[in-house]
């Protein structure tokens, strides 16, 4: 799903690896959503995307007002860095490996190691 992070000209559109939106938005099954509709954007770092995920998208998503942004790094140990938007900037809320349990933006339990198991 595409996310419109800046409607200026030319518009800036990103395609996070995972996008969490409210149920009514998901029920419309849109190809593109406004950043204001995004509860959580998740990027999974792959070769060549680290700087973009950690610097460029971090700034763009914060500027767009996306409250929660997670970066998952698959290099051992698989880890998650979760950011929360506070006063227009992201603050690290969680840095962890192994099993992640959060209550916000939704109750979730993720075994990060399972992302790379065959």
- Taking residues 63-86, what's their average pLDDT? 97
* Percentage of the chain lying above the pLDDT 70 cut: 100
Q: What is the pLDDT of residue 72?
A: 97
What is the DSSP code string of the chain?
Answer: -EEEEE-SSS-EEE--SEEE--HHHHHH--SEEEGGG-SEEEEEE-TTTHHIIIIIHHHHHHHHT-SEEEEEE-SSSPEEEEEEEETTEEEEEEEEESEEEE-SSS-EEEEGGGGS--
Domain count, the chain: 1
Q: What is the pLDDT of residue 100?
A: 95
Q: What is the pLDDT of residue 97?
A: 96
* Residue 77 in this model has a pLDDT that exceeds 90: yes
Q: What is the pLDDT of residue 10?
A: 95
Q: Which domain holds residue 98?
A: 2-115
């Amino acid at each position: 799903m595409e996310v419109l992070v800046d409607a200026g000209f030319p518009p800036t559109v990103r395609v996070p690896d995972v996008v969490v939106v409210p149920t009514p938005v998901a029920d419309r099954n849109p190809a593109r959503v406004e950043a204001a509709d995004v509860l959580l954007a998740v990027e999974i770092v792959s070769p060549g995307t680290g700087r973009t995920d950690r610097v460029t998208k971090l700034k763009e998503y914060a500027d767009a007002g996306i409250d929660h942004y997670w970066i998952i790094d698959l290099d051992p140990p698989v880890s998650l860095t979760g950011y929360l938007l506070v006063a227009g900037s992201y603050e690290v809320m969680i840095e962890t490996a192994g099993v992640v349990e959060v209550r916000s933006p939704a109750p979730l339990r993720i075994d990060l190691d399972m992302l790379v198991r065959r």
